[in-house]
A and B are shown apart, each in its own frame.
Chain A
């Protein structure tokens, strides 16, 4: 049992820390000894968030923050299974998973007024939760073999048989399919032109299922061009393969976002919001940008001149190509089966 005095002191502290929660019931206060469960990716993202979010929160409030590491499919499957009685307080999902999860009553829509840093979020980062990083998808290619200024360059003869097409479903494969449909007279509601034009590109050198797999293909000379996250590919090009270029096509790059999604039914509402607030802080956003070239989802940061060209900032954010993800996710099963048969088969 927590003594009344301690509870009062803690809630006073919490109230001072974030005036926005004033007026919420006691359950929504941060108390010493609270435990938060966060489902997040491993690797660099784990390191950065531990440094900028977990440590400060644990020191400040005397709470314990536990990570469950993994990819989004496992987290999402668990959160759906536990809808309303979650073991996770916060899960990180991608752009289309997050919007669907809100619609399905698994995660909460963002409450911008309760998270101070959220008021600086770009509009496109306020859907399906709190966008914490933009990670756009674009064409990446070996510049010794040709030049890419448009998505349509994929159909040029120099790339024939040298394309590693991204597998569907997945952020890259989804972006590629939707973009092709859009370029050739279709849309997310008229996907046939997309499939038809992608079929024209066959035979593929490979179908790539992850960025690590793609970079191995580039290293080994299996393929010369693909569609991938610009951020990782830039790290790869700078450190391992200077021949690889990241295109900035005239039609724009396709939006992809990492989204922080508080679960419906979390017992630690205030702590979850404090966590997200720190994720949107300048220090954390800058570390993401510097270490892994993820673009910030909040405006008004001071980006150094050497870093700015490598990110998507300001007006460019509004140029990112967006789609009706609700519709896209509803079609996923049908498109998956088409992709397996028509493209990968």
Chain B
């Protein structure tokens, strides 16, 4: 019970207020920005949204898009996560770079990469045209384009969530199944997949919530022809200064986000009886034996090829925008949007190193991300133990509360924070941003670490205790080393999300405290110059170097390979 306190307290202080304001705004009748807040709740906004077929269609297509992206991320994520988990330890950091690079690349730049891919003379059209599936307009400005961009953006989250589960899984189970004559495809479906279900739950939840609330990629790839709910929240809140309608839409998004998270939770719980308390009913379903035999035969014949194709696709999708980043960062063009290569130049790097601006912002971003990550991990670790091992009244409600910041669109958090600006400005700018960033990344950390704690081998702890180790010693010598991969993955994710956060931060930056992504976003709002690509390229090189150095000195393989 005490374990649940730190995370809950933090969210109560930093998140409950903006959340309450969003709820309060959603039940206002008048959209006037200067109207006094009325305490008489009115359902006028919800009635207006749910009574309008255009909004209903947008909501439905947003949910479908979110589900599609989640499915695509899982399909592409499994082969990639398995490949990562089975790679020799010395190569792992470099392979990790493949997953992390997209997360390090500015989302605007990534979306421009997808534009290039889907353009009329782009690769996708080139491949599909001979099949008679080409389109004169290319594949831009369709739901497919938006879905592809979102898959590219959120695939790394799925891979990291699965990776943790797969690395933790007991290798001996797979070996035992193999020795009993199970083919690879049967081992995947009977051993690997079930064991990784907790990770899959975290991945599905995170990807769905992110994909169904995103709006930046949808704006770029949808060309305003494809509308998602997040875009409506943004437009109502900012362009029309109509916070009540925006808040009501955000609340509707919140409801479906929580519904999805609860559903994923229930399904995985039923499918993983060995992780539940004793007496849980095992879940089993039998296919007709003839059908099962044929399916296995088909799987064995095609499984390897399909897995390789999916792995290739996943890597290509993640890496493709990178080539664009590198090419554009040396390209002498006035705007960053894609064009042919005109002339080689170093000027974007010169601009990126212009000490007065980017470097200072980059340092702000680094410090902010690092401190937010450390705080979030510190809060999330006891929270994860509370979820997995403690029993206390209202546990379900607390768990749902912790996930709220992930289910509420960032733009809605921003709207809530806007109303609190007067108080917020009184806080030192850096710590104010840390408060909010921790709120944004905490659900990811809790979700990831919960999977890791769930898969801890309790017998190791019992052995250590029986040998006379104190609880503190057990924690340091047994639990922490076993949690290392989970902590590393959660930490990396948290760091990168904080490092790239724009939506909420752009409302809270003050003149003395600006982050790098907010600056890039500000430039993009006027006209994007390739400096963005130079910065992205530098960030990527820096990360790969960092991973290599860490690998050299910390000997990650000791910790990670079990």
The residues of A with any CB-CB pair to B shorter than 8 Å are 35, 37-38, 41-46, 66-74, 76-78, 80-83, 85, 87, 104, 167, 169, 204-209, 211-213, 215-217, 219-222, 232, 235-236, 239-241, 332-333, 336-337, 340-341, 344-345
B350 close to chain A: CB less than 8 A: no
1/0 contact string of B24-55 vs chain A (CB within 8 Å): 00000001011000000000000000000010
Q: Quick one: given A44-B526, A69-B514, A345-B54, are A220 and B334 in contact (CB under 8 Å)?
A: no
Complex: A87 Cα to B511 Cα, angstroms: 9
Specify which of A41, A44, A87, A220 is in contact with B510 (CB 8 Å cutoff). A87
**A81 with B224: CB separation less than 8 A:** no
Q: Please indicate the chain A residues that have their CB under 8 angstroms from the CB of B224 in the complex.
A: 167, 207-209, 344
Q: Please indicate the chain B residues that have their CB under 8 angstroms from the CB of A169 in the complex.
A: 239-240
Specify which of B54, B120, B522 is in contact with A41 (CB 8 Å cutoff). B522
B141 close to chain A: CB less than 8 A: yes
Which residue of chain A has the shortest Cβ distance to B238 in the bound complex? A73
Residue among B140, B227, B335, B524 having the largest count of chain A Cβ atoms under 10 Å? B335
Q: Please indicate the chain B residues that have their CB under 8 angstroms from the CB of A68 in the complex.
A: 509-511, 514
**A43 with B527: CB separation less than 8 A:** yes
Q: Quick one: given A74-B507, A206-B223, A345-B54, are A212 and B335 in contact (CB under 8 Å)?
A: yes
Which 6 residue pairs are nearest across A and B when measured between Cβ atoms?
Answer: A66-B511, A71-B525, A69-B522, A42-B522, A42-B523, A73-B238
Q: Quick one: given A37-B511, A236-B335, are A74 and B137 in contact (CB under 8 Å)?
A: no
Complex: A46 Cα to B358 Cα, angstroms: 13
B339 close to chain A: CB less than 8 A: yes
Question: Which residues of chain B in 357-383 are interfacial with respect to chain A, using CB atoms and an 8 Å cutoff?
Answer: none
Question: Which residues of chain B in 82-141 are interfacial with respect to chain A, using CB atoms and an 8 Å cutoff?
Answer: 112, 115-116, 119-122, 137-138, 140-141
Q: Please indicate the chain A residues that have their CB under 8 angstroms from the CB of B527 in the complex.
A: 43-44, 211-212, 232
Of the listed stretches B265-273, B414-422, B539-547, chain A binds: B414-422
**A74 with B240: CB separation less than 8 A:** no
**B525 with A41: CB separation less than 8 A:** yes
Q: Quick one: given A207-B223, A336-B239, are A80 and B510 in contact (CB under 8 Å)?
A: no
Complex: A219 Cα to B224 Cα, angstroms: 19
Complex: A209 Cα to B238 Cα, angstroms: 15
**B335 with A222: CB separation less than 8 A:** no
Q: Quick one: given A206-B141, A213-B220, A216-B338, are A77 and B225 in contact (CB under 8 Å)?
A: no
B342 close to chain A: CB less than 8 A: yes
1/0 contact string of B268-291 vs chain A (CB within 8 Å): 000000000000000000000000
B529 close to chain A: CB less than 8 A: yes
Question: Which residues of chain B in 398-423 are interfacial with respect to chain A, using CB atoms and an 8 Å cutoff?
Answer: 418-419, 421-422
Specify which of A71, A74, A207, A217 is in contact with B225 (CB 8 Å cutoff). A207
Question: Which residues of chain B in 139-175 are interfacial with respect to chain A, using CB atoms and an 8 Å cutoff?
Answer: 140-141
Q: Please indicate the chain A residues that have their CB under 8 angstroms from the CB of B514 in the complex.
A: 68-69
Closest Cβ of chain B to A33, distance in Å, is 14
Q: Quick one: given A73-B239, A78-B421, are A216 and B518 in contact (CB under 8 Å)?
A: no
Residue among A72, A83, A212 having the largest count of chain B Cβ atoms under 10 Å? A212
25 pairs from A and B in contact (CB 8 Å cutoff): A42-B519, A43-B527, A44-B527, A66-B512, A169-B239, A207-B223, A208-B223, A212-B335, A212-B527, A212-B528, A213-B223, A215-B339, A216-B339, A219-B339, A219-B340, A222-B119, A222-B138, A232-B527, A240-B339, A332-B240, A333-B240, A333-B242, A340-B54, A340-B227, A344-B227
Complex: A46 Cα to B335 Cα, angstroms: 16
**A221 with B120: CB separation less than 8 A:** yes
Q: Please indicate the chain A residues that have their CB under 8 angstroms from the CB of B115 in the complex.
A: 216, 220
B219 close to chain A: CB less than 8 A: yes
Q: Please indicate the chain A residues that have their CB under 8 angstroms from the CB of B140 in the complex.
A: 206, 220, 222
Q: Please indicate the chain A residues that have their CB under 8 angstroms from the CB of B119 in the complex.
A: 220-222
Q: Please indicate the chain B residues that have their CB under 8 angstroms from the CB of A37 in the complex.
A: 510-511
Q: Please indicate the chain A residues that have their CB under 8 angstroms from the CB of B342 in the complex.
A: 239-240
Complex: A337 Cα to B34 Cα, angstroms: 22
B235 close to chain A: CB less than 8 A: yes
- Size of the chain B interface, CB-CB below 8 angstroms: 60
1/0 contact string of B494-514 vs chain A (CB within 8 Å): 000000000000110111101
Q: Quick one: given A74-B507, A344-B225, are A43 and B523 in contact (CB under 8 Å)?
A: yes
B425 close to chain A: CB less than 8 A: yes
B336 close to chain A: CB less than 8 A: yes
The residues of B with any CB-CB pair to A shorter than 8 Å are 31, 33-34, 54, 112, 115-116, 119-122, 137-138, 140-141, 219-220, 223-225, 227, 235, 237-242, 333-340, 342, 418-419, 421-422, 425, 506-507, 509-512, 514, 518-519, 521-529
Complex: A151 Cα to B410 Cα, angstroms: 40
Closest Cβ of chain B to A110, distance in Å, is 23
Which residue of chain A has the shortest Cβ distance to B527 in the bound complex? A43
Which residue of chain A has the shortest Cβ distance to B525 in the bound complex? A71
Which residue of chain B has the shortest Cβ distance to A241 in the bound complex? B339
Q: Please indicate the chain B residues that have their CB under 8 angstroms from the CB of A44 in the complex.
A: 526-527
Which residue of chain A has the shortest Cβ distance to B235 in the bound complex? A336
Q: Please indicate the chain B residues that have their CB under 8 angstroms from the CB of A236 in the complex.
A: 334-335
Complex: A207 Cα to B33 Cα, angstroms: 29
Closest Cβ of chain B to A81, distance in Å, is 5
Specify which of B121, B138, B335, B522 is in contact with A71 (CB 8 Å cutoff). B522
Q: Please indicate the chain A residues that have their CB under 8 angstroms from the CB of B34 in the complex.
A: 80, 83, 104
Q: Please indicate the chain B residues that have their CB under 8 angstroms from the CB of A73 in the complex.
A: 238-239
Q: Please indicate the chain B residues that have their CB under 8 angstroms from the CB of A344 in the complex.
A: 224-225, 227
**A222 with B225: CB separation less than 8 A:** no
Complex: A336 Cα to B38 Cα, angstroms: 26
Closest Cβ of chain A to B515, distance in Å, is 11
Q: Quick one: given A87-B425, A205-B137, are A77 and B507 in contact (CB under 8 Å)?
A: yes
**A219 with B338: CB separation less than 8 A:** yes
Q: Please indicate the chain B residues that have their CB under 8 angstroms from the CB of A232 in the complex.
A: 527
Closest Cβ of chain A to B451, distance in Å, is 36
Which residue of chain B has the shortest Cβ distance to A229 in the bound complex? B527
Q: Please indicate the chain B residues that have their CB under 8 angstroms from the CB of A43 in the complex.
A: 522-523, 526-529
Residue among B141, B224, B422, B511 having the largest count of chain A Cβ atoms under 10 Å? B224
Closest Cβ of chain B to A89, distance in Å, is 10
Q: Please indicate the chain A residues that have their CB under 8 angstroms from the CB of B112 in the complex.
A: 216
**B334 with A212: CB separation less than 8 A:** no
Q: Please indicate the chain A residues that have their CB under 8 angstroms from the CB of B220 in the complex.
A: 209, 213
Complex: A74 Cα to B54 Cα, angstroms: 26
Specify which of A35, A77, A104, A220 is in contact with B120 (CB 8 Å cutoff). A220
Q: Please indicate the chain B residues that have their CB under 8 angstroms from the CB of A167 in the complex.
A: 224
Q: Quick one: given A70-B521, A80-B33, A344-B224, are A240 and B219 in contact (CB under 8 Å)?
A: no
Which residue of chain A has the shortest Cβ distance to B528 in the bound complex? A212
Q: Quick one: given A66-B511, A240-B339, are A42 and B526 in contact (CB under 8 Å)?
A: yes
Complex: A70 Cα to B22 Cα, angstroms: 24
Closest Cβ of chain A to B324, distance in Å, is 12
Closest Cβ of chain A to B492, distance in Å, is 28
Residue among A35, A73, A235 having the largest count of chain B Cβ atoms under 10 Å? A73
